[in-house]
Structures are given as structure tokens and as C-alpha cells.
Amino acid sequence: MTEAMDSADTLKQGRSLMQAGKFQEAASLLGEVLAREPGHQDALYMAAASARYLNDTDSAFAYLDRLKRAAPDFGRAFQEEGHLRRKTGDVDGALGAFQRATRYNPALVASWTAQAEILSASGRAEAAAHARAQADRLKTLPPELLAVTNYIHEGRIIHAERIARAFMQKHPRHVEGMRLLADIGSRLGVHEDADFLLETAVELEPENPQLRIDRIQVLRKRQKYEAALAEAGTLLERDPDNPVFKSLYAIEAMQAGSYDEALEIFDEVLADMPDDLATLTSRGHALKTAGQTDEAITSYRRAVAVTPLHGDAWYALANLKTYTFSADEIAAMQAALQDPNLHFMGRVHIAFARGKALEDAGEYGASFEAYSQGNALKKTQVRYTTEQMEAEVEGQTTHCTKDLFENRAGVGHDDPAPIFIVGLPRAGSTLIEQILASHSQVDGTLELPNILSLAHRLRGRQQISDRDRYPRILHELPDEELKALGEDYIANTAIHRQGAPFFTDKMPNNFRHIGLIQLILPNAKIIDARREPMACCFSGFKQLFAEGQEFSYSLEDIGHYYRLYVKLMDHWDAVLPGKVLRVQHEDVVDDLEGEVRRILDHCALPFEQACLDFHKTDRAVRTASSEQVRQPINRSGLEQWRKFEPYLDDLKEIVSDL
């Protein structure tokens, strides 16, 4: 703590010296901080600026190289690089740096202004006008909202929220304030509140395209795909030739299941902009989901050919699980990781992709190191703690008692349609879903967020001071409200169904809310997809999840999470005997027909041969196992973790007795 305070005081002194033009003295002070903390973001930034003013170009570039590696998405680092390159006469390099600066932090007025000047001088009037308009817009913002924008894009979300809320209390109908507060809410996972703010903002300023773009992102996170598609359609109707709106509409069409329409529009965009990375990657995702793997690979490979720093496409190739990287591609990923211009999520994506590539190449030590690097980076972004999960499980076991379910027997909505598949990710749930979705009476849907959203609402807003309001509130809710909640679930998930009498919901985290499910949908079926702990936990550690599953970025966290999952499932077995069917993944592999019949019997479904031939079922699959469930069952994945056994002692110690 003392060292941190010393650094803060020294930096404050350094800023004062720089403002007074005493750059040499500032550089000396900053050197003291960097001797103690070589990766200190602010010290590196100030040292680079001081070196530029002292005309020490080599030192300035060296500080910036260190800064971009320590803080890959720090927009001010690229702004400082722009100033430095402009000073040395590298105008093209300066323009690229200023453009990256505003990509990472759109609140940097100086970078927008510099872009406008450079673009104007080179005769690119339209692009210059756009950059100047961005600078002018920022200058008209209230200072509080400019600060909020800056804090958001420098990762200081709590500071941003505090200022934004204070501003909105004084200006409750300020549209940009609403938009920024919604952005903060979305980053904190409060998607319903973010959606409400953006919906209100759109009503106030229906012609503002950024509001609709932001709302589309939030609606997608809420899996409100039809509503997102409608918003995208509104944008496209107003400007049918806008490539951003076309690509956005195609993405939402893909999410809503209209793959042919999405691919047609992606191809239109690529005809005009063949190197557009976002479109190439999104097109690959659509092709993969629709089962057109070879075409997806071509699209992803085109994206990494355009720029090897495009981590999203590298990881998409790895996430196919069936793609084998060449030695040249592995070398290209390694080179990308050494590039100081690689942004944060690019580093994460490529680390995970490289882990998969090296695993397939049999280099297990290097592979584990790459997976560990990706997980360590990702863990810096998450807020999960084992202690929070322990408190949650304690709340469920304390309040969801046998007496509760006996006293509330017969309440809820009686629709038997839902089949919940719960457990940990990478435990075989996609295989169970594919088996069930191959049955003529079952629609396979998605990992639906509805139960998690309901639990979040029931927790209320006092989640710190009243941590166990949910599930305690389950004792207090009237019978008619429980029934209404069940009816709402059926109504809100109808959009994902195709008309079969039953449907799957394979959100794995629903195991934490089986008590809630029982009270609102007492006739729903529940299946616990379980896998041997070492295989399950390590498979989760190797997977970069699109959203959620924050426990999975540390072997220690995932091991303790598995233990808590087993503890809670044992509790549900005790208070709701016979409610949950446990399906062990290894048993499905060893005796497919026997386990398929067990699953169908539990769901009161007649046997159908198509369930054994699940790999022939033609349907969109969006999870990481999409390619695996399109192949006949095999044992290849059961013991993969043993190749990494020398590195898994800590995990083994946590789960060994399970």
C-alpha cells in the first residue's frame, strides 16, 4: 500500500513538472517509479511523452512499446505514438496510430483532430470531415460525459458509473447520458436496465443511429433476436447502401436463424469490401453454425490473411475443434503475440487458439503455457470469486428445503414442455441436446437466459446488503405469481421453438436455480449432464467462452466450482428426489442406446432411431461442441486431460475425492 501511495505521489509530482515544462526532472522521477513497477501504465505513458518533448525519440518509442504490451487497449498510448510519429515525419504511421487510439478510446479529441488534419492534407476530404465531426461532437459534450466516455474506455467502469448517475440525476432526459449509462450497465451485465435506458433514448431521438446500434448489441446479449433484427431493419431501411448497417442486419438475421439471408447480405458487403474483417468473421460464424464447415474455414482464413492480428478469426478456427493448424499458422500466431499493436482480446483469442494448435501438434507443455496465458489475461476482466459462489450455494441449500416444496406442491404453471439440461459447460450437454433435438417431438433451442434473468430480478437491487433475498423470497411469492412466472417463461421462449410439443433449454448454469424451476414449472423435466471432474474442469479451462462462465479462467476456481456444483446437485436430489436425471457423459459414450432410452424414458418420450443417429440431424448448433455433435460418438475426448496431467496437480488435489 505504501509503495502504491509513493508511486501516486511521485506521478502527481511528475505531472506538475511536465506542466511546468521541466521534462528532464519529470523523466528522472518517472524512472524511479518504473524501477519499482516496470509495467506501470501511467508512468510509462508520461515517460514516453517526456522523452518526446526532450527529442529522445528512441527512448520514447521504447517506452511506448512497453506500454502497449502492458496495456494493449490503452488509447492514449496510441495517441502518444501518433504525436511521436508525426513529429518524426512518419505521417502514414501517425494516421494509423491516431486511428487505433480512437478505436480503443473514442473520447480522444486530439486524435480525431489530428486524423482530420492529416486526412485533409492528403486530399481525403470525406474521411477528414468524418473525423472532424467526431471531434466537434465531443467538444459539445458536457465535461462530465466526456469524462464518463474516457473512463469507460480505460476500464474504470465504477468511476464512470458514479459520474454518469450523478449527471443523470440532474439531467434525467439527456440522451447521451442515457446511452453511456446503458453502456456501463451492459458491461456490468445488467442488460435489462441497459435495454430500458436505450429504448427510452430511442423514443426521445428516433433518428439517432448510434442508439439503435447500441440497443441491438444489448438485445443480442438478452437473446431478443427478433427485436434486434427489427432494430437492424429500421437502420437498413433508412440507409440501404450503408455497409455497416448491412453487416449489422446480416448478423442479426443469423442470430434469428435466417442463415441464407445472412449469408447473401454478407456476400454483398464483401463484394464491395472484400477485406472487411468483421464481415469475414461473422460470415464464418454463420457458415459454421449452419454446418458448412469448409466454407467457414475459408472465410476465417481469409480474415487472418488480411491481418494476422485478427485474433477472433484465429480462435474461430481453433473453436471448430476439427481444424488442424499448419506450422506456418502456428508461427504466425506466435509472431502476432509479439506485436505490441495486438489489442487485449486479440491476445486472449490468439493465446487460446495457439494452445489448441500446440495441443494438436503434441507439444503439451507449450500448449498448457499458452492456455494458461489466455486464462490469466481473461481472468483480469472477471469479477467471479469462489466465496460468492459458496454464499450462493449456501443460500439455496438454506432456503430451498423439502418443506418449501411440500408446502408449495401443485403451484406454478403446469406446462410440461421444457426440458432443462444443466450442469457444467463442456460436460456433454450439447450431445444430450442433439439427441433430444433429433426426436420428432422435441425442438432444440439454445442456452436460454430466461431463468438466469428471472433469478436476477428476484434478487432485487440490494444485492450487497440483502444477499439472500433470492432464494428466500421463494417462500413469500403468492401462488398466482409463481404461476405467472412460469407462464412468462413459456411465452418468452416461444420464439425459439418450431412447433414441437417439447423443447430443450441447455443453459448449464440453471443447476443453480432448480428450486425456482420446480416452483414455476413443476412438470418440466431436468437432466444433469455430468462428466468426470478432471476431464470436465480441464476442458472448461481450455475453452474461451463468449459470455459468462467466469469461474473457468483459473484451475483453482473451476475445481472449487465443480465441488460446489456437486454439493448443490446432491441437495436437489435430497429435497426433490427423482426430479433430476443424472446422465454421465462417459456412460453415454460406452452405451449410447441404453443412455438414450434412459433419457427418453425420463422425458416420457417414445424411442426413435433418429436419437441414436443424432449426428445426421440437420440443425443449427451454436455452442463450442457444434462440430463434434455432427460426428458419430467416439471416445477420443474422454482422456485428453491425461496428456496434461503433469501440470494439473492443483486441480487434481481439489477434485480428487469426487
- pLDDT interval class at 627 (50, 70, 90): low
Please report the pLDDT score of residue 1 as a whole number. 39
Q: How far apart are CA 257 and CA 81, in angstroms?
A: 43
Q: Please compute, for residue 553, the number of CA atoms within 13 A of its CA located in the half-sphere on the CB side.
A: 23
What is the arithmetic mean of pLDDT over 484-511? Answer: 95
Q: How far apart are CA 402 and CA 557, in angstroms?
A: 30
Q: CA quadruple 516, 521, 522, 523: dihedral positive or negative?
A: negative
- pLDDT interval class at 255 (50, 70, 90): confident
Query: What does the block give as the cell for 167?
Result: 449527471
Sheet-wide strand order for 442-443:
442-443, 502-505, 418-423, 525-530, 580-584
3-class secondary structure per residue, 511-548: HHHHHHHHHHCCCCEEEEEECCHHHHHHHHHCCCCCCC
Percent of the chain with pLDDT over 70: 96
- pLDDT interval class at 2 (50, 70, 90): very low
Q: How far apart are CA 177 and CA 211, in angstroms?
A: 11
Predicted confidence (pLDDT) per residue in 169-225, tens digit: 999 999 999 999 999 999 988 898 999 999 999 999 999 999 999 999 999 988 888
Neighbours of 160 (CB within 10 A): 24
Q: How far apart are CA 166 and CA 38, in angstroms?
A: 36
Quick check: pTM over 0.85?
yes
DSSP assignment of 245-276, as one string?
HHHHHHHHHHHTT-HHHHHHHHHHHHHH-TT-
pLDDT of 46 above 50: yes
- What does the mean pLDDT of the chain come to? 93
Query: What does the block give as the cell for 325?
Result: 493448424
Burial of 506-518, coded b for 16+ CB within 10 Å and e otherwise, reads bbbbbbbbbbbbb
Query: What does the block give as the cell for 311?
Result: 485474433
Are 420 and 579 in contact, with CB atoms under 8 Å apart? no
Query: What does the block give as the cell for 52?
Result: 518526446
Predicted confidence (pLDDT) per residue in 273-288, tens digit: 999 999 999 999 999 9
Q: How far apart are CA 344 and CA 379, in angstroms?
A: 12
Please report the pLDDT score of residue 620 as a whole number. 58
Please report the pLDDT score of residue 189 as a whole number. 84
Are 518 and 418 in contact, with CB atoms under 8 Å apart? no
Predicted confidence (pLDDT) per residue in 102-142, tens digit: 999 999 999 999 999 999 999 999 999 999 999 999 999 99
Whether residue 471 is preceded by a cis peptide bond, meaning omega within 30 degrees of 0, is: yes
Predicted confidence (pLDDT) per residue in 433-474, tens digit: 999 999 999 999 989 999 998 998 898 866 555 778 999 999
Q: How far apart are CA 563 and CA 386, in angstroms?
A: 11
Are 107 and 148 in contact, with CB atoms under 8 Å apart? no
